Amino acid sequence: MERRWQRRSPVLFDWLRKNLSTQAQTMPLYIRIKEKIIVFFLAASSFVSVFITALIIYILFSESAGFFKKVPLGDFLFGTRWSPLLEPASYGVLPLINGTFLVTAGALIIALPVGLLTAIYLSEYASNKTRQFLKPVLEILSGIPTVVYGYFALTFITPILQTIIPITEVFNAASASIVVGIMTLPIITSLSDDALQTVPRSLREGAYALGATRFEVSTQIVLISALPRVGASVILAVSRAIGETMAVTLAAGATPKMTANIFESVQTMTAYIVEVSLGDTPQGTIGYQTSFAVGLLLFIITLTLNFMAQRLLYKKKH
Protein backbone atom coordinates (compact mmCIF):
# COMPACT_ATOMS: atom_id res chain seq x y z
CA MET A 1 0.00 0.00 0.00
CA GLU A 2 1.38 3.34 -0.96
CA ARG A 3 1.82 5.77 1.85
CA ARG A 4 0.97 9.38 1.56
CA TRP A 5 4.58 10.67 1.69
CA GLN A 6 5.58 8.41 -1.12
CA ARG A 7 3.06 10.10 -3.32
CA ARG A 8 4.11 13.48 -2.15
CA SER A 9 7.84 13.00 -2.49
CA PRO A 10 8.83 10.44 -5.12
CA VAL A 11 12.40 11.72 -5.18
CA LEU A 12 12.90 11.09 -1.47
CA PHE A 13 11.29 7.67 -1.79
CA ASP A 14 13.62 6.67 -4.60
CA TRP A 15 16.59 7.84 -2.62
CA LEU A 16 15.51 5.82 0.39
CA ARG A 17 14.92 2.74 -1.68
CA LYS A 18 18.37 2.95 -3.22
CA ASN A 19 20.23 3.65 -0.01
CA LEU A 20 18.64 1.24 2.42
CA SER A 21 19.62 -2.35 1.92
CA THR A 22 16.83 -4.80 1.31
CA GLN A 23 17.58 -6.27 4.70
CA ALA A 24 17.13 -2.97 6.43
CA GLN A 25 13.82 -2.49 4.70
CA THR A 26 12.40 -5.83 5.67
CA MET A 27 13.96 -6.41 9.09
CA PRO A 28 12.14 -5.15 12.13
CA LEU A 29 14.02 -2.65 14.25
CA TYR A 30 14.53 -4.93 17.29
CA ILE A 31 16.28 -7.58 15.15
CA ARG A 32 18.62 -4.96 13.73
CA ILE A 33 19.53 -3.83 17.25
CA LYS A 34 20.05 -7.42 18.35
CA GLU A 35 22.41 -7.95 15.35
CA LYS A 36 24.41 -4.87 16.34
CA ILE A 37 24.80 -6.17 19.90
CA ILE A 38 25.92 -9.59 18.69
CA VAL A 39 28.54 -8.06 16.38
CA PHE A 40 29.76 -5.90 19.25
CA PHE A 41 30.32 -8.92 21.50
CA LEU A 42 32.01 -10.91 18.77
CA ALA A 43 34.42 -8.08 18.04
CA ALA A 44 35.00 -7.43 21.73
CA SER A 45 35.99 -11.04 22.44
CA SER A 46 38.45 -11.03 19.56
CA PHE A 47 40.03 -7.90 20.99
CA VAL A 48 40.53 -9.57 24.39
CA SER A 49 43.51 -11.52 23.06
CA VAL A 50 45.00 -8.43 21.44
CA PHE A 51 44.58 -6.54 24.70
CA ILE A 52 46.19 -9.30 26.78
CA THR A 53 49.16 -9.51 24.42
CA ALA A 54 49.65 -5.76 24.64
CA LEU A 55 49.40 -5.94 28.43
CA ILE A 56 52.04 -8.68 28.68
CA ILE A 57 54.41 -6.74 26.43
CA TYR A 58 53.82 -3.62 28.50
CA ILE A 59 54.62 -5.43 31.76
CA LEU A 60 57.71 -7.06 30.25
CA PHE A 61 59.02 -3.68 29.17
CA SER A 62 58.12 -1.73 32.28
CA GLU A 63 59.58 -4.28 34.71
CA SER A 64 62.69 -4.70 32.56
CA ALA A 65 63.12 -0.93 32.52
CA GLY A 66 63.71 -1.05 36.28
CA PHE A 67 66.38 -3.69 35.74
CA PHE A 68 68.16 -1.81 32.96
CA LYS A 69 68.30 1.33 35.11
CA LYS A 70 70.62 -0.56 37.45
CA VAL A 71 72.44 -2.86 35.00
CA PRO A 72 73.87 -1.51 31.71
CA LEU A 73 72.52 -3.29 28.62
CA GLY A 74 76.07 -4.21 27.52
CA ASP A 75 76.84 -5.95 30.83
CA PHE A 76 73.59 -7.89 30.54
CA LEU A 77 74.00 -8.99 26.91
CA PHE A 78 77.73 -9.71 26.90
CA GLY A 79 78.54 -10.70 30.48
CA THR A 80 79.63 -14.30 30.89
CA ARG A 81 78.66 -14.83 34.54
CA TRP A 82 75.06 -15.12 35.66
CA SER A 83 74.63 -14.87 39.40
CA PRO A 84 71.82 -12.44 40.12
CA LEU A 85 70.63 -13.95 43.41
CA LEU A 86 73.97 -14.75 45.10
CA GLU A 87 76.77 -12.37 46.07
CA PRO A 88 78.87 -11.19 44.34
CA ALA A 89 76.00 -10.43 41.97
CA SER A 90 76.66 -10.56 38.24
CA TYR A 91 74.16 -10.09 35.45
CA GLY A 92 75.74 -11.49 32.29
CA VAL A 93 73.00 -13.41 30.47
CA LEU A 94 75.31 -15.34 28.11
CA PRO A 95 75.38 -18.51 30.26
CA LEU A 96 71.58 -18.72 30.05
CA ILE A 97 71.64 -18.12 26.29
CA ASN A 98 74.37 -20.76 26.06
CA GLY A 99 72.19 -23.24 27.98
CA THR A 100 69.19 -22.49 25.79
CA PHE A 101 71.06 -22.84 22.54
CA LEU A 102 72.90 -25.96 23.67
CA VAL A 103 69.60 -27.70 24.34
CA THR A 104 68.04 -26.30 21.14
CA ALA A 105 70.97 -27.33 18.97
CA GLY A 106 70.89 -30.82 20.45
CA ALA A 107 67.15 -31.01 19.87
CA LEU A 108 67.60 -29.92 16.27
CA ILE A 109 70.26 -32.56 15.63
CA ILE A 110 67.57 -35.12 16.41
CA ALA A 111 64.44 -33.41 15.08
CA LEU A 112 65.82 -32.06 11.79
CA PRO A 113 66.98 -35.26 10.09
CA VAL A 114 64.28 -37.49 11.56
CA GLY A 115 61.58 -34.89 10.88
CA LEU A 116 62.64 -34.22 7.30
CA LEU A 117 63.05 -37.88 6.43
CA THR A 118 59.65 -38.64 7.95
CA ALA A 119 58.09 -35.79 5.97
CA ILE A 120 59.65 -37.05 2.73
CA TYR A 121 58.47 -40.57 3.51
CA LEU A 122 54.94 -39.42 4.31
CA SER A 123 54.61 -37.14 1.34
CA GLU A 124 56.46 -39.04 -1.40
CA TYR A 125 56.57 -42.71 -0.47
CA ALA A 126 53.82 -43.71 1.95
CA SER A 127 50.55 -45.08 0.64
CA ASN A 128 47.39 -43.28 1.66
CA LYS A 129 46.74 -45.96 4.26
CA THR A 130 50.12 -45.59 5.93
CA ARG A 131 49.79 -41.84 5.83
CA GLN A 132 46.41 -41.87 7.48
CA PHE A 133 47.85 -43.99 10.25
CA LEU A 134 51.20 -42.24 10.74
CA LYS A 135 50.14 -38.61 10.71
CA PRO A 136 47.74 -38.81 13.68
CA VAL A 137 50.25 -40.90 15.63
CA LEU A 138 52.87 -38.20 15.12
CA GLU A 139 50.43 -35.56 16.18
CA ILE A 140 49.81 -37.43 19.44
CA LEU A 141 53.45 -36.65 20.32
CA SER A 142 52.58 -32.97 20.52
CA GLY A 143 49.65 -33.73 22.80
CA ILE A 144 51.77 -35.22 25.58
CA PRO A 145 52.12 -32.74 28.49
CA THR A 146 55.64 -31.34 28.60
CA VAL A 147 56.01 -32.19 32.29
CA VAL A 148 55.68 -35.84 31.29
CA TYR A 149 58.51 -35.36 28.82
CA GLY A 150 60.65 -33.78 31.55
CA TYR A 151 59.96 -36.60 33.96
CA PHE A 152 60.65 -39.12 31.18
CA ALA A 153 64.01 -37.45 30.49
CA LEU A 154 65.00 -37.40 34.14
CA THR A 155 63.95 -40.93 35.09
CA PHE A 156 64.42 -42.82 31.86
CA ILE A 157 66.80 -41.12 29.43
CA THR A 158 69.36 -39.81 31.91
CA PRO A 159 69.99 -43.24 33.53
CA ILE A 160 70.52 -44.73 30.07
CA LEU A 161 72.93 -41.94 29.17
CA GLN A 162 74.74 -42.48 32.47
CA THR A 163 75.34 -46.14 31.73
CA ILE A 164 76.64 -45.35 28.23
CA ILE A 165 78.62 -42.24 29.15
CA PRO A 166 79.52 -42.36 32.85
CA ILE A 167 80.47 -38.66 33.10
CA THR A 168 76.81 -37.71 32.55
CA GLU A 169 75.48 -35.63 35.42
CA VAL A 170 72.03 -36.20 36.94
CA PHE A 171 70.86 -32.99 35.33
CA ASN A 172 72.27 -32.61 31.84
CA ALA A 173 71.62 -30.86 28.55
CA ALA A 174 71.71 -34.07 26.53
CA SER A 175 68.59 -35.71 27.94
CA ALA A 176 66.75 -32.39 27.74
CA SER A 177 67.83 -32.12 24.09
CA ILE A 178 66.52 -35.56 23.32
CA VAL A 179 63.04 -34.92 24.72
CA VAL A 180 62.83 -31.43 23.23
CA GLY A 181 63.84 -33.00 19.94
CA ILE A 182 61.01 -35.51 20.22
CA MET A 183 58.63 -32.71 21.16
CA THR A 184 59.50 -30.59 18.13
CA LEU A 185 59.46 -33.55 15.76
CA PRO A 186 55.72 -33.23 14.97
CA ILE A 187 56.17 -29.56 14.08
CA ILE A 188 58.89 -30.27 11.52
CA THR A 189 57.23 -33.39 10.19
CA SER A 190 53.75 -32.04 9.89
CA LEU A 191 54.60 -28.62 8.45
CA SER A 192 57.27 -29.98 6.10
CA ASP A 193 54.89 -32.66 4.89
CA ASP A 194 52.33 -29.95 4.14
CA ALA A 195 55.05 -27.99 2.35
CA LEU A 196 56.02 -30.97 0.18
CA GLN A 197 52.37 -31.61 -0.61
CA THR A 198 52.00 -28.11 -2.05
CA VAL A 199 54.55 -28.90 -4.78
CA PRO A 200 52.47 -29.42 -7.93
CA ARG A 201 52.17 -32.92 -9.32
CA SER A 202 53.19 -31.64 -12.77
CA LEU A 203 56.67 -30.86 -11.45
CA ARG A 204 57.10 -34.42 -10.17
CA GLU A 205 55.88 -35.82 -13.47
CA GLY A 206 58.30 -33.62 -15.39
CA ALA A 207 61.14 -35.03 -13.32
CA TYR A 208 60.01 -38.65 -13.63
CA ALA A 209 59.69 -38.19 -17.38
CA LEU A 210 63.45 -37.52 -17.52
CA GLY A 211 64.25 -40.90 -16.03
CA ALA A 212 64.57 -39.87 -12.40
CA THR A 213 64.11 -42.26 -9.50
CA ARG A 214 61.66 -41.54 -6.71
CA PHE A 215 64.50 -40.55 -4.40
CA GLU A 216 65.98 -38.11 -6.93
CA VAL A 217 62.58 -36.55 -7.50
CA SER A 218 61.87 -36.29 -3.75
CA THR A 219 65.17 -34.76 -2.72
CA GLN A 220 66.27 -32.78 -5.77
CA ILE A 221 62.99 -31.47 -7.11
CA VAL A 222 60.22 -31.65 -4.51
CA LEU A 223 62.28 -30.79 -1.43
CA ILE A 224 64.13 -27.99 -3.25
CA SER A 225 60.88 -26.49 -4.51
CA ALA A 226 59.40 -26.57 -1.02
CA LEU A 227 62.57 -25.33 0.68
CA PRO A 228 61.26 -21.93 1.89
CA ARG A 229 58.28 -23.57 3.55
CA VAL A 230 60.40 -26.39 4.96
CA GLY A 231 62.75 -23.72 6.34
CA ALA A 232 59.80 -22.02 7.99
CA SER A 233 58.85 -25.27 9.69
CA VAL A 234 62.37 -25.65 11.05
CA ILE A 235 62.40 -22.08 12.36
CA LEU A 236 59.08 -22.62 14.09
CA ALA A 237 60.49 -25.77 15.66
CA VAL A 238 63.55 -23.84 16.88
CA SER A 239 61.27 -21.17 18.31
CA ARG A 240 59.31 -23.85 20.12
CA ALA A 241 62.48 -25.46 21.45
CA ILE A 242 63.80 -22.14 22.76
CA GLY A 243 60.54 -21.42 24.53
CA GLU A 244 60.22 -24.93 25.97
CA THR A 245 60.18 -24.70 29.77
CA MET A 246 58.95 -27.60 31.82
CA ALA A 247 61.04 -30.39 30.32
CA VAL A 248 64.28 -28.41 30.37
CA THR A 249 63.71 -27.20 33.92
CA LEU A 250 63.30 -30.79 35.08
CA ALA A 251 66.02 -32.37 32.96
CA ALA A 252 68.71 -29.81 32.25
CA GLY A 253 69.11 -28.42 35.76
CA ALA A 254 69.75 -24.97 37.20
CA THR A 255 73.45 -24.30 36.74
CA PRO A 256 74.05 -21.27 34.49
CA LYS A 257 77.28 -22.14 32.79
CA MET A 258 79.33 -21.34 29.68
CA THR A 259 79.86 -24.87 28.45
CA ALA A 260 79.59 -26.86 25.28
CA ASN A 261 79.52 -30.16 27.14
CA ILE A 262 76.03 -31.57 26.78
CA PHE A 263 76.55 -34.05 29.61
CA GLU A 264 76.83 -31.27 32.17
CA SER A 265 74.05 -29.47 33.95
CA VAL A 266 73.12 -26.10 32.44
CA GLN A 267 70.33 -23.58 32.88
CA THR A 268 68.16 -22.23 30.10
CA MET A 269 66.50 -18.81 30.03
CA THR A 270 63.11 -20.40 30.64
CA ALA A 271 64.39 -22.53 33.51
CA TYR A 272 65.79 -19.42 35.18
CA ILE A 273 62.42 -17.66 34.98
CA VAL A 274 60.85 -20.70 36.63
CA GLU A 275 63.48 -20.59 39.38
CA VAL A 276 62.73 -16.94 40.19
CA SER A 277 58.97 -17.41 39.94
CA LEU A 278 59.01 -20.33 42.37
CA GLY A 279 61.60 -18.90 44.75
CA ASP A 280 61.08 -16.31 47.44
CA THR A 281 62.71 -13.40 45.64
CA PRO A 282 60.87 -10.31 46.96
CA GLN A 283 58.89 -8.28 44.42
CA GLY A 284 60.56 -5.08 43.23
CA THR A 285 64.12 -6.22 43.94
CA ILE A 286 66.67 -6.48 41.18
CA GLY A 287 66.65 -10.29 41.48
CA TYR A 288 62.92 -10.24 40.77
CA GLN A 289 63.37 -7.88 37.83
CA THR A 290 65.99 -10.11 36.22
CA SER A 291 63.30 -12.60 35.27
CA PHE A 292 61.49 -9.91 33.30
CA ALA A 293 64.68 -8.88 31.52
CA VAL A 294 65.32 -12.52 30.59
CA GLY A 295 61.66 -12.90 29.61
CA LEU A 296 61.89 -9.85 27.37
CA LEU A 297 65.00 -11.23 25.66
CA LEU A 298 63.27 -14.57 25.17
CA PHE A 299 60.24 -12.82 23.76
CA ILE A 300 62.34 -10.84 21.29
CA ILE A 301 64.20 -13.96 20.13
CA THR A 302 61.08 -16.05 19.55
CA LEU A 303 59.21 -13.13 17.99
CA THR A 304 62.06 -12.60 15.53
CA LEU A 305 62.10 -16.29 14.65
CA ASN A 306 58.34 -16.43 14.17
CA PHE A 307 58.52 -13.34 12.02
CA MET A 308 61.21 -14.92 9.86
CA ALA A 309 59.08 -18.03 9.46
CA GLN A 310 56.10 -15.94 8.40
CA ARG A 311 58.24 -14.15 5.85
CA LEU A 312 59.34 -17.46 4.35
CA LEU A 313 55.79 -18.81 4.29
CA TYR A 314 54.28 -15.84 2.54
CA LYS A 315 57.22 -15.01 0.34
CA LYS A 316 56.14 -14.48 -3.23
CA LYS A 317 57.14 -17.35 -5.47
CA HIS A 318 60.47 -16.35 -6.98
Partner 1 sequence: MNQQSITKPYEKAVVEVKNLSVFFNQNEAVKKVNLSIPINKVTAIIGPSGCGKSTLLRSINRMHDFEPIARLEGNIFLEGEDILLKSVDAVSLRRKIGMVFQKPNPFPKTIYENILWGPKINGFKINEDELVEQSLRQAAIWDEVKGRLFDSAISLSGGQQQRLCIARTIAMKPKVILMDEPCSALDPRSTGRIEDLILELKNEYTIVIVTHNMQQAARISDYTAFFYDGELIEYGNTSKIFTTPVLKQTEDYISGRFG
x/- site string to partner 1, residues 76 to 105, per CB under 8 A? ------------------------------
Among 3, 7, 18, 318, binds partner 1 (CB under 8 A): 318
**Contact flag: residue 154 with partner 1 (CB under 8 A):** no
DSSP annotation of 218 reads I
Say how far apart CA 252 and CA 176 lie, in whole Å.
6
Query: How many residues belong to the site for partner 1 (CB under 8 A)?
Result: 20
DSSP annotation of 284 reads T
**Amino acid, res. 108:** L
Q: How far is CA 200 from CA 195, 229, 249, 294, in A?
A: 11, 14, 43, 44
**Contact flag: residue 230 with partner 1 (CB under 8 A):** no
Q: How far is the CB of 214 from partner 1 (least distance, A)?
A: 9
**Amino acid, res. 248:** V
Q: Give the gyration radius of the chain's Cα atoms.
A: 28
**Alpha-carbon dihedral sign for residues 176, 179, 184, 189:** positive
**Residue number with CB closer to partner 1 (18 or 317):** 317
60, 299 in Cβ contact below 8 A?
yes
Q: Is 254 helix (H, G, I), strand (E, B) or coil?
A: coil
Among 109, 114, 141, 212, binds partner 1 (CB under 8 A): 212
**Contact flag: residue 317 with partner 1 (CB under 8 A):** yes
* CB contact burial 78-89 (16+ within 10 A = b; e otherwise): ebebbebbeeee
**Residue number with CB closer to partner 1 (103 or 196):** 196
The upper half-sphere exposure of residue 26, i.e. CA atoms within 13 Å in the direction of its Cβ, equals: 3
**Residue number with CB closer to partner 1 (88 or 211):** 211
**Contact flag: residue 213 with partner 1 (CB under 8 A):** yes
Using alpha carbons only, give the angle 32, 35, 38 rounded to the nearest 5 degrees. 155
**Contact flag: residue 283 with partner 1 (CB under 8 A):** no
Among 9, 80, 220, 304, binds partner 1 (CB under 8 A): 220
**Contact flag: residue 221 with partner 1 (CB under 8 A):** yes
Say how far apart CA 263 and CA 177 lie, in whole Å.
10
Q: How far is the CB of 121 from partner 1 (least distance, A)?
A: 16
Q: How far is the CB of 200 from partner 1 (least distance, A)?
A: 7
**Contact flag: residue 121 with partner 1 (CB under 8 A):** no
Say how far apart CA 82 and CA 90 lie, in whole Å.
5
Q: Is 82 helix (H, G, I), strand (E, B) or coil?
A: strand
Among 197, 216, 259, 308, binds partner 1 (CB under 8 A): 216
β-sheet bridge partners, residue 90: 83
**Contact flag: residue 25 with partner 1 (CB under 8 A):** no
Among 127, 137, 280, 316, binds partner 1 (CB under 8 A): 127
Q: Which stretch binds partner 1 (CB under 8 A): 147-155, 220-228, 245-253, 273-281?
A: 220-228
**Residue number with CB closer to partner 1 (182 or 207):** 207
**Amino acid, res. 226:** A
x/- site string to partner 1, residues 192 to 211, per CB under 8 A? --------x-xx-xxxxxxx
> Which residues of the chain form contacts with partner 1 (CB under 8 A)?
127, 200, 202-203, 205-213, 216, 220-221, 224-225, 317-318
